[in-house]
Amino acid sequence: MKLEKKRVENKPVQTYVGGDEGISSFFQPDILLGEQYIDNFRRKTPLEPEKALLLAVLDDGIRCFQDNILPRNRKKQLLFEEAEAWLFSDESNGVFSFVSICALLGFDPGYIRRGLRQWQERTVGAKPKKQRGYGVIPQRLVA
């Protein structure tokens, strides 16, 4: 291999003439095991960002349902109705539908729905009723 010296901006530079040995070293195959290749694509975080987003959407839907079950104004009533419609819809067309999110996270939608209905029955059943008169009615303890 023959080296030539060229001057570029008053600095000597060596270039290779007639050989590709320097370039060919860049194109040598890397030897990797399959496990090493797959390890490059595994996530280092315990919960992937996509699953965290799906979990946040599910959490928000359940919170809207629970926080607005006894609405005090029209806005809270609408939030409750939208959350209830989303949670109890069997539509699975969109990525962010309740059924799709449960499938992607590995949850059983029927189980979540049953739990929400039971919670709703307990909460609505425990709603204090308006009483006439003043003050609290004293309760008698029976032994």
More confident of the two residues 28 and 52: 52
Give yes or no for residue 143 having a pLDDT over 50.
no
User: Mind listing the pLDDT tens digit for each residue in 14-39?
Assistant: 555 555 556 666 666 666 666 666 66
What is the full DSSP assignment across 25-77? Answer: GGGPPP---HHHHHHTTS-SSSS-HHHHHHHHHHHHHHHHHHHTSS-SSHHHH
Residue 137 to residues 45, 123, 134, Cα–Cα distance (Å) = 56, 22, 8
- Interatomic CA distance for residues 130 and 9, integer angstroms: 93
The per-residue pLDDT for 122 is 92
Give the mean model confidence (pLDDT) for residues 47-74. Answer: 92
CB 57 within 8 A of CB 101: yes
The per-residue pLDDT for 133 is 46
User: Mind listing the pLDDT tens digit for each residue in 89-116?
Assistant: 999 888 899 999 999 999 999 999 999 9
- Interatomic CA distance for residues 50 and 102, integer angstroms: 13
Give the mean model confidence (pLDDT) for residues 80-96. Answer: 93
Give the mean model confidence (pLDDT) for residues 129-141. Answer: 49
* Coil/strand/helix, residue 98: helix
Residue 100, both tokens: 């799709």
Mean pLDDT of the chain: 77
- The most confident of the ranges 47-51, 84-88, 91-95, 139-143 is 84-88
